[in-house]
Amino acid sequence: MTTSAELGLPALTVAPGGVATTTLTVRNDLDIVEAYTFEVVGDCAAWTTVEPTRISLYPGTSETVTVRLAPPRSPASRAGEFPLGIRVLPVERPDLVAVPETTVTVTPFHELRAALAPRRRRGWLRGRYRASVRNLGNAPTTVAFTPGQAGEDLRFGVAPEKLRLEPGESGEVRVQARTRKLIWFGKPATWPFEVTVGPEERADGKDTKDSKDAKDSKGTSGKPAAAPEAVTAPEAQKPVLEGEFLQLPVFPRWLLALLALLIALLLAWFALVRPAVRSSAKQAAEQAVAQQSATPAPPAEVPAGDTPGAPSSGSTPGGQTKPGAGKPATGPGSQVGPGGLAVPGTGQQSSATIDVQTQNGAAATGSYQVPHGKVFDITDLVVANFQGDQGLVTITAGNKTITTIALETFRNQDYHWVTPIQVPEDQAVTANVTCEAPGTPASGKQAPACHELLNISGTLSDIRPGN
């Protein structure tokens, strides 16, 4: 006496995401009433159920239950042939267990999930992208990437060209889109393209797969059989990734507009400004020639030599002018203008030096006085602090203060004027020095007193007599 159990089909085929059923008949050959429970064993146990899960049989009777197989559509439901066993367990006599078996074939399905990042690139010549793909099917697949564009404006490169992915595995490739020529000026150009992701195709245009279909493969060991490498189910669609390359011009439009503006300004210069400049220069030259023709002949030249009352070339310590100073430089005679004064710049060049020596803590003034009947136009002034003294020097011309300088801020200081400083007759150019500390000259020994020199240069002109 024993328990007998038999499955209705010796082999089953089921597709992931679908349902397959068979029957299991159990007969009680014992002399007692027995209850039976069911336990699914094997690789298909996770998605196989028996309904009902428990039955009771009188002696000599039998009953049929339903075995339901529902593998999920996921990489976990590997394609191939797998053994399926159902353990029938008697409750009263557990030693009389029965285990009927059958073979279950899980058909392959292919599903890919892909993405392109970034979707849009900007550049002058090329754009680089990353294409990622994940095998959501239940069989190993060799994935190929095929970029394409409606025109022939772009060239593509893919590295690596293929990926071998196990169920549930992910991979990534680099995609490059390159234009055939640069855009130097103008508007940006947009180039859309697509990348088709799918199983590798054979030379005859069909998807590659193993020499035997999964239905014919043998899996007696209980392990997944070698599934088709890239079999595309009828309902499967190859992912198409959309990308875009925005090609920028090498030189932007604002630079082109700026160049056009510069060219327009240059043309305007040559057309308008340059002729006006030439006309003004020509007119000024004509006026100068006409004025020179109308000007009377200049008076005879003044012989070179000492000029009475001219500024001296130096002064004695304490501010007195040195003997022999004030000789004017050789030059044309002065021309007397209206009002009795000489025309500035037409007299004789002359210069004088004022020598000021001051004891420590004291102040002294040196001066040069413009002779009677003369006008002195100062054009250049040089102050020398050759010892490096400390203190203050104030320079005046007539009743005007020219400048005040701290001695410690300079060794030699010069001034030059395009418009001369005019000093009338009988007025003086003075240098007032306040000595705070004598300096150390080049000899290296501190001087006993401050010592400054002031050289003035300009034009000494006569005043018209009787004015």
CATH at residue 145? 2.60.40.2310
Q: Side by side, which strands form the sheet with 390-397?
A: 363-369, 428-437, 390-397, 400-406
* Extended beta strands in 273-347, E state: 315-316, 320-321
- 47 lies in the same domain as 172: no
- 27 lies in the same domain as 125: no
In the chain, how many domains are there? Answer: 3
- Residue 275: which pLDDT band, with cuts at 50, 70 and 90? low
Average pLDDT, the chain: 80
Q: What is the pLDDT of residues 327-367, one digit of tens each?
A: 443 344 444 444 445 545 457 888 999 999 999 889 999 99
- 85 lies in the same domain as 129: no
Domain boundary among 106, 132, 150: 106
What does the DSSP 8-state code read for residue 290?
A: H
* Pair 368, 429: CB distance under 8 Å: yes
Asked, for residue 449, whether it belongs to a domain, the answer is yes
- 25 lies in the same domain as 116: no
Average pLDDT, integer, range 158-179 = 92
pTM of the model: 0.46
pLDDT at 380: 93
Is 80 exceeded by the pLDDT of residue 464? Answer: no
pLDDT at 438: 92
Asked, for residue 136, whether it belongs to a domain, the answer is yes
Average pLDDT, integer, range 320-326 = 42
CATH number at 390 reads 2.60.120
- 346 lies in the same domain as 451: yes
Is 80 exceeded by the pLDDT of residue 291? Answer: no
- C-alpha span between 122 and 179 (Å, rounded): 12
Asked, for residue 372, whether it belongs to a domain, the answer is yes
Higher pLDDT, 302 or 356: 356
Average pLDDT, integer, range 86-97 = 92
- C-alpha span between 428 and 228 (Å, rounded): 117
Asked, for residue 87, whether it belongs to a domain, the answer is yes
Q: Which two tokens stand for residue 444?
A: 């290296």
CATH number at 13 reads 2.60.40.10
* Pair 167, 75: CB distance under 8 Å: yes
pLDDT at 310: 40
116 three-state secondary structure = strand
- 44 lies in the same domain as 120: no
Name which of 323, 420, 314 is nearest 375 in CA terms.
420
- 82 lies in the same domain as 38: yes
Is 70 exceeded by the pLDDT of residue 226? Answer: no
- C-alpha span between 239 and 134 (Å, rounded): 11
Sign (positive/negative) of CA torsion 78, 84, 88, 89? negative
pLDDT at 292: 58
- 124 lies in the same domain as 53: no
Burial of 325 (0-12, 13-18, 19+ CB in 10 A): buried
pLDDT at 329: 39
Parallel/antiparallel/unpaired status of strands 80-90 and 3-7: unpaired
Asked, for residue 264, whether it belongs to a domain, the answer is no
Q: Which residue has the tokens 């875009």?
A: 244
Asked, for residue 232, whether it belongs to a domain, the answer is yes
Average pLDDT, integer, range 454-459 = 92
- Least confident residue range of 68-77, 161-170, 293-302: 293-302
C-alpha distances (whole Å) from 86 to each of 67, 127, 147, 270 are: 9, 58, 50, 103
Domain boundary among 247, 263, 291: 247
Higher pLDDT, 53 or 467: 53
- Least confident residue range of 60-74, 217-231, 284-298, 399-413: 217-231
268 three-state secondary structure = helix
Give the range of the structural domain holding residue 86, as residue numbers without chain letter.
3-106
- 92 lies in the same domain as 231: no
- 331 lies in the same domain as 207: no
137 three-state secondary structure = coil
Domain boundary among 106, 137, 154: 106
- Least confident residue range of 86-95, 230-239, 266-275, 314-323: 314-323
pLDDT at 267: 87
* Residues β-bridged to residue 129: 175
- 351 lies in the same domain as 430: yes
Parallel/antiparallel/unpaired status of strands 170-179 and 154-159: antiparallel
Q: What is the pLDDT of residues 116-148, one digit of tens each?
A: 999 899 988 889 999 999 999 999 999 999 898
Is 90 exceeded by the pLDDT of residue 416? Answer: yes
Q: Mention every residue, 6+ apart, whose C-beta is less than 8 A from residue 212.
A: none
Asked, for residue 282, whether it belongs to a domain, the answer is no
Asked, for residue 306, whether it belongs to a domain, the answer is no
- 66 lies in the same domain as 195: no
